[in-house]
Amino acid sequence: MKQMQIPKRLTTALVNSLTAGVVPRVGLEHIAVGRKAEVASILQDMDNIAEGGAAFRLITGRYGSGKSFLLQMIRNYAMDREFVVADADLSPERRLVGTKGQGLGTYRELMMHLSTRTRPDGGALESMLQKWIAGLQQEQMQATGLRPGDPQLYEAVELQIYAVSNELQSLVHGFDFAKVLAAYWSGYKLGDDDRKAAALRWLRGEFPTKTEARKELGVGVIIDDDNWYDYMKLWSEFAVRIGYKGLLLFIDEGVNLYKITNSVSRQSNYEKLLTMFNDTMQGKAQYLGIYLGGTPQFVEDERRGLFSYEALRSRLMDGRYSSGSRRTYTSPILRLDMLSHEEILILLQKLRNIHAMHSGYEPRLSDGQLIAFMQAAVGRLGAEELLTTREVVRDFMDVLHMLHQHKELTFEELMGEREQEYLASGSPGNSGSKDELDDFLAEFDL
């Protein structure tokens, strides 16, 4: 307890999130266990992206296996390494492509959650532009000795801004992107808040029509369903030119693409995913990383999953020499297995100490009792196939809350009550008799 001091803000976020069965946004480093090979592989991706490369990874695992946790942890690592990050969860309203603006919905969600180390909670778009312009002003003042407000300073800064804009103009949609950056600078220089707001609206994909964009900014295009991914490639290039290492996109709940009932629409989304994959793998995108989370069914189902699309299946399937026990961590798919029993025990120890620190008491549970809890969890019928890390954590947080709020209750009494309820419900564990187990199985017809 003494060697681990965590701010109250972080322990509150951890306890509340884990109790609810959701991934915390902050403090993950205090409860992270295992996944060393996966994390090392993605950190290598970051090194490659910072050098002008790109990466595409599918992170798969059953519900509750830790996909979202790993994505969130990598997101935090990336911000510490001076990357710009953006995350979004796919849903029926947010896809890669759609006839009702679902692709644009994903872009807007990503831009809403655009984050940097100094703005980790999203909404970093304007602060990125302001930091860039302020940095250019500071550089020019140091180089030329000009004072703030000097017209010559504005001219010098404007030249630097147009130099960056000109580099982007050679890219797809780069000319219009550069014009909007220039419009933002014009509003910044003249103190025209309306012009700055219009530029930010355009960059966030909020202009409904080209006519309105042309009227307010003199730009004849808008970000829409068809081109939003091209602008993400522009953002990755721009981020590097203003001082960051690159752009990483974290897109979770890929299973929502699998759930699309219309086969044409589903295939259109898989085609967009193939475009992203090819761009990153073939060097058509730079300074860009794309990480997509989904279930094994979303990937491997040959009727509706990614493997139903032959071009993706041939690119994503394992090589001939990979196996379940030996796998490479450089392939496009990172498969997450259940944590080992040793890793679960370490996680329970961390959660015990964090809960005690948060609530201000000395930990009551011994390591032996943690082992007993873990054995009860993994010893139940079907646990090997059905139990997930999320369920173990949520149940353990429930135990900690119960023992803290009911001081007269002992761990053994609580576990005994719950296991008896479990057996009485008709779901015997290993502690049940052979007759109980036979009776339970006899209810199923083969």
- Render pLDDT for 30-46 as a digit per residue (tens, 0 to 9): 888 888 888 999 999 99
Q: How many domains does the chain have?
A: 3
The 10s digit of each residue's pLDDT in 419-446 is 555 444 444 444 444 444 444 444 444 3
Tell me if 379 is assigned to some domain.
yes
Tell me if 285 is assigned to some domain.
yes
Tell me if 431 is assigned to some domain.
no
Neighbours of 12 (CB within 10 A): 15
The 10s digit of each residue's pLDDT in 144-179 is 877 777 778 888 888 888 888 788 887 888 889 988
Structural domain boundaries enclosing 136: 125-211
Residue 36, burial from CB neighbour count under 10 angstroms (0-12, 13-18, 19+): exposed
Measured distance CA(79)–CA(289) in Å, rounded: 13
**80 pLDDT above the threshold of 80:** yes
Measured distance CA(300)–CA(30) in Å, rounded: 33
Is 107 in the same domain as 255?
yes
- Identify the residue with better confidence: 62 or 183: 183
Structural domain ending residue among the three candidates 310, 335, 360: 335
Tell me if 418 is assigned to some domain.
yes
| pLDDT at position 304 | 93
Is 105 in the same domain as 248?
yes
* 3-class secondary structure, 211: helix
Bridge partners of residue 53, in order along the sequence: none
Is 299 in the same domain as 372?
no
Tell me if 421 is assigned to some domain.
yes
Tell me if 432 is assigned to some domain.
no
Bridge partners of residue 54, in order along the sequence: 288
Is 201 in the same domain as 140?
yes
**132 pLDDT above the threshold of 80:** yes
The 10s digit of each residue's pLDDT in 205-263 is 999 999 999 999 999 999 999 999 999 999 999 999 999 999 999 999 999 999 999 99
If phi > 0 it is left, if psi is from -120 to 50 it is alpha, else beta; for residue 194 that is alpha
CA atoms within 13 A on the CB side of 374: 19
% of the chain at pLDDT higher than 90? 49
DSSP string for 37-100 = HHHHHHHHHHHHHHTT-EEEEEEE--TTSSHHHHHHHHHHHHHHTT-EEEEEE-BTTB-SS-TT
Is 248 in the same domain as 328?
yes
Tell me if 102 is assigned to some domain.
yes
Is 410 in the same domain as 360?
yes
Is 314 in the same domain as 249?
yes
Is 292 in the same domain as 368?
no
**2 pLDDT above the threshold of 60:** no
Q: Where are the alpha helices (DSSP H) in 191-320?
A: 193-203, 210-217, 228-241, 255-258, 263-281, 296-300, 310-316
Q: CB under 8 Å to 285, separation ≥6 — which residues?
A: 54, 233, 236, 279
Is 41 in the same domain as 107?
yes
Is 43 in the same domain as 182?
no
Bridge partners of residue 361, in order along the sequence: none
Token pair belonging to 428:
């015997």
- Identify the residue with better confidence: 358 or 323: 358
| pLDDT at position 171 | 84
Nearest Cα to Cα of residue 176 among 214, 149, 141, 142: 214
Tell me if 269 is assigned to some domain.
yes
Is 199 in the same domain as 249?
no
Is 248 in the same domain as 190?
no
Averaged pLDDT of the chain: 85
Contacts of range 340-348, beta carbons closer than 8 Å, 24 or more positions apart? 340/34, 341/374, 341/378, 343/33, 343/34, 344/33, 344/374, 344/378, 344/389, 344/392, 345/370, 345/371, 345/374, 346/33, 347/31, 347/33, 347/389, 347/392, 347/393, 348/373, 348/374, 348/392, 348/396
Token pair belonging to 216:
């307010």
Segment 345-363 shows an average pLDDT of 90
Do 31 and 350 contact (CB within 8 A), yes or no? yes
- CATH number, domain of 69, equals 3.40.50.300
